[in-house]
């Protein structure tokens, strides 16, 4: 029987940092960030990518043009979706900013601790990004309603409470099963929950609407792709080092639940008359994305019947050489770092 999960002590002078026997969890490390001796090379590479990806929302220009378009050009349904999508994104990045330090307390590899700390910082930057968008684009009288939309919409409240509940369950009962569920839910939140919303902003920008907002979202998406990769690698390390904790059935069950929730919420927010984003396309896109994410874990697809991307207009975003759609264009971006990670560039 494996040990119950225990948070790392801040300093543990009785132990050492021997890389040859280090494990990603449940190792008695000193607590020292000895980063010249690392075991998980993917984490060291990821650190370089995340540092190169540094950005701040204040440097993204054009939001004043979006403010004019929001008031005069968007349809009522597009404005509604824009506001309530931001509400959910604000919740997701808020809970991740708070959640990640708790999670990091149980990781016993300093190179992984390092990138999780950077991820928490990036989640906070994302929260600031949404605040910047709201401050510039949306009338001040509407901002509190957007932040607290879950108080009015029972569907959003139930969804937020479900996500929070999985994280809180481990904090209250820190055992192996709850910890693995915690890891999976981090992976699912980063890899499934954001992407219909990214697709919405891309769809607007494809019609030359709210282009600055989409530029901000694209920087956020770039960060989220690193976060997806972090948790995919953590899951694979757990499988290798702690097969008694790893549970593929749990992954599939939680993925199925995440897909079902995402489809229902997307249909609730994105009404049928928003171009490209029909309910049929939402369902197929989410299921195809789930198959792609499972492949990162070397797991067979849950929805083998779904093959093609229904959002053909998003294919441009996968062309890193496209001048218009290359959301990696920035003085802080390093292409060679990005391509070396063998990520899945699925939008």
Residue 342 φ/ψ region, left for φ over 0, alpha for ψ in the -120 to 50 degree band, beta for the rest: left
| Per-residue tokens: 61 | 């220009």
Which DSSP state fits 334? -
Cβ contact 156:150 at 8 Å = yes
Question: Within 10 A of 152 (CB to CB), how many other CB atoms are there?
Answer: 11
Cβ contact 203:313 at 8 Å = yes
Cβ contact 167:182 at 8 Å = yes
* Beta-bridge partners for 25: 107
The number of residues in the chain equals 347
Among 130, 167, 285, 303, the one annotated catalytic: 130
Cβ contact 104:33 at 8 Å = no
Cβ contact 109:24 at 8 Å = yes
Catalytic (active site) residue 130:
yes
Q: How many CA atoms lie within 13 A of 298 on its CB side?
A: 6
Active site residues: 130
């Amino acid at each position: 029987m494996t040990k119950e999960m225990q948070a790392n002590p801040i300093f543990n002078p009785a132990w050492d940092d021997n890389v040859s026997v280090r494990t990603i969890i449940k190792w008695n490390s000193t607590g020292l960030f000895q980063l010249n001796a690392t075991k998980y090379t993917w984490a060291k590479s990821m650190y370089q990518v995340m540092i190169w990806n540094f950005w701040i929302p204040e440097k993204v220009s054009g939001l004043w043009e979006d403010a004019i378009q929001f008031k005069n050009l968007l349809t009522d349904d597009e404005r509604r979706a824009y506001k309530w999508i931001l509400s959910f994104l604000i919740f997701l990045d808020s809970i991740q900013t708070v959640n990640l330090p708790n999670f990091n307390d149980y990781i016993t590899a300093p190179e992984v601790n390092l990138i999780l700390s950077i991820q928490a910082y990036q989640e906070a930057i994302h929260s600031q990004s949404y605040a910047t968008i709201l401050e510039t684009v949306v009338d001040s009288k509407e901002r509190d309603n957007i932040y607290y939309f879950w108080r009015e919409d029972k569907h959003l409240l139930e969804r937020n409470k479900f996500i929070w509940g999985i994280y809180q369950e481990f904090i209250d009962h820190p055992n192996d099963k709850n910890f693995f569920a915690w890891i999976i839910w981090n992976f699912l939140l980063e890899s499934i929950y954001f992407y219909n919303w990214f697709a919405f902003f891309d769809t607007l920008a494809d019609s030359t609407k709210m282009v600055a907002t989409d530029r901000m979202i694209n920087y956020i998406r770039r960060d989220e792709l690193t976060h997806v990769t972090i948790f995919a690698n953590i899951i694979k390390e757990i499988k290798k080092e702690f097969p008694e904790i790893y549970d593929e059935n749990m992954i599939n069950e939680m993925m199925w639940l995440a897909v079902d929730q995402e489809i229902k919420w997307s249909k609730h927010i994105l009404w049928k008359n928003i171009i490209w984003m029909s309910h049929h396309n939402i369902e197929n896109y989410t299921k195809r994305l789930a198959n792609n994410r499972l492949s990162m874990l070397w797991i067979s697809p849950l929805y083998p019947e779904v093959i093609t991307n229904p959002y053909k207009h998003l294919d441009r975003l996968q062309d890193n050489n496209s001048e218009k759609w290359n959301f990696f264009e920035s003085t802080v971006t390093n292409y060679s770092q990005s391509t070396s990670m063998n990520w899945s560039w699925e939008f």
